[in-house]
């Protein structure tokens, strides 16, 4: 006997990927329902070789459903997640609403699977921010071997992180540069994104960092180790899908580049593509649709005693969101619900 699974926000980029990945990984579901707002009622979405018509989230009764994968904004999540949880349906939420609640587990299954036991607190599990998920997959094995003291990360985040509007904007702006007469919708980003980069994602905080940068710090501490110092600069780049990150770590124990490469090669969820030659590294275009977090350019940072640099690329709609959520559902099934 399998699970009854709801995908909430099934018409968005992440919701559609959740349905794709549930099918690709043959998640043991007896039934899958696609939920969306009333304005999207009846929209057809793919689930493997099946087509589902979206049902109305507002009137949906979660009673008797096992797992709800949420891919809607924090405001709507605030309304519907407690309703689902109260009905006995475990919520796996991709918004930032519950990530920092000490009673709610924030999980990357390759990193902190044991946190799944905390689901008993509120029947809700939080999915991390896309830029955090891919980074902690790489940090965890290196931290276990050499204890990471400090992380300096610069991100190069694709426009799909900003939703469908982000994708449409890059497309429209690029077209308008080659065809000045074409229409350009009002900007979702603060400045032109086509042929440009924008060092600003989410809102500015008191200390001059952005909330996206704050999320990477807070979530890395919650998922990996509160003692790790993290500083981040998050940048939007004119790439449709695939977040890239330049990561520098300082460790307590010495770790040379070859040993780091071997450790990462052996670690779950990671593909090392690291040759010191033309094309010997992964770029965002090459990660799209893949489950892996790709690591390249592993090399010593000779400016400090125990430092390493590396390049990290992953599909932000998959490991950064939908894949991680489905992996949490798999972990939940194996460790807690244990149906079938």
The binding site for NADP(+) comprises 11-14, 39-40, 160-161, 180, 316
- Residue 157 sits in the site that holds ligand 2RA (CB under 6 A): yes
Cα angle, residue 301 at apex, residues 300 and 302 outer, rounded to 5°: 100
Dig out the tokens for 39 from the structure. 């304005």
- Residue 130 sits in the site that holds ligand 2RA (CB under 6 A): yes
For residue 184, the SS3 value is coil
Count of residues that interact with ligand 2RA, criterion CB under 6 A: 8
Alpha-carbon gap, residue 151 to 107, rounded angstroms: 20
From the CB of 318, what's the least distance to ligand 2RA, in Å?
Answer: 13
Region of residue 156 (left: phi > 0; alpha: psi -120 to 50; beta: else): beta
- Residue 161 sits in the site that holds ligand 2RA (CB under 6 A): yes
Given 143, 234, 243, 312, the catalytic residue: 243
- Residue 210 sits in the site that holds ligand 2RA (CB under 6 A): no
Cβ-contact 332, 69 below 8 angstroms: no
Smaller CB separation from ligand 2RA, 125 or 255? 125
234 catalytically annotated: no
200 catalytically annotated: no
- Residue 153 sits in the site that holds ligand 2RA (CB under 6 A): no
Given 89, 130, 234, 312, the catalytic residue: 130
From the CB of 296, what's the least distance to ligand 2RA, in Å?
Answer: 21
Stretch that binds ligand 2RA, among 26-34, 154-162, 171-179, 286-294 (CB under 6 A): 154-162
From the CB of 214, what's the least distance to ligand 2RA, in Å?
Answer: 12
| Rg of the chain on CA atoms, in Å | 20
DSSP 102: T
Alpha-carbon gap, residue 287 to 186, rounded angstroms: 30
Helix/strand/coil percent split, the chain, to 5: 35, 25, 40
Positions marked catalytic: 130, 243
Residues that bind ligand 2RA (CB under 6 A): 129-131, 157, 161-162, 201, 212
């Amino acid at each position: 006997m399998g699970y009854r699974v709801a995908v909430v926000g099934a018409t968005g980029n992440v919701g559609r990927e959740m349905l794709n990945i549930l099918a690709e990984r043959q998640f043991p579901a007896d039934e899958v329902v696609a939920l969306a707002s009333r304005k999207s009622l009846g929209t057809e979405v793919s689930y493997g070789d099946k087509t589902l018509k979206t049902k109305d989230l507002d009137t949906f009764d979660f009673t008797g459903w096992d797992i709800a994968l949420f891919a809607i904004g924090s405001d709507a999540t605030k309304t519907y997640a407690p309703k689902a949880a109260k009905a006995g349906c475990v919520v796996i939420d991709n918004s930032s609403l519950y990530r920092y609640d000490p009673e709610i587990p924030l999980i990357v299954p390759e990193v902190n699977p044991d946190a799944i036991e905390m689901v008993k607190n509120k029947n809700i599990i939080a999915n991390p921010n896309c830029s955090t998920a891919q980074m902690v997959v790489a940090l965890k094995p290196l931290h276990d071997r050499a204890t990471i003291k400090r992380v300096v990360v610069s991100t190069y985040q694709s426009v799909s992180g900003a939703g469908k509007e982000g994708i449409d904007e890059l497309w429209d702006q690029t077209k308008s540069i080659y065809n000045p007469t074409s229409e350009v919708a009002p900007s979702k980003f603060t400045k032109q994104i086509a042929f440009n980069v924008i060092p600003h994602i989410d809102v500015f905080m008191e200390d001059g960092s952005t909330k996206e940068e704050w999320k990477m710090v807070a979530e890395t501490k919650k998922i990996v180790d509160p003692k790790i110092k993290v500083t981040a600069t998050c940048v939007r780049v004119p790439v449709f899908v695939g977040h890239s990150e330049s990561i520098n770590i300082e460790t307590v124990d010495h770790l040379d580049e070859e040993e780091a490469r071997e450790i990462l090669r052996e670690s779950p969820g990671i593909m090392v593509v690291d040759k010191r030659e033309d094309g010997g590294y992964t770029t965002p275009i090459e990660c799209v649709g893949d489950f892996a977090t790709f690591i390249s350019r592993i090399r010593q940072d000779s400016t400090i005693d125990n430092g390493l640099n590396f390049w990290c690329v992953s599909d932000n709609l998959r490991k950064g969101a939908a894949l991680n959520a489905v992996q949490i559902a798999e972990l939940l099934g194996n460790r807690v619900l244990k149906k079938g």
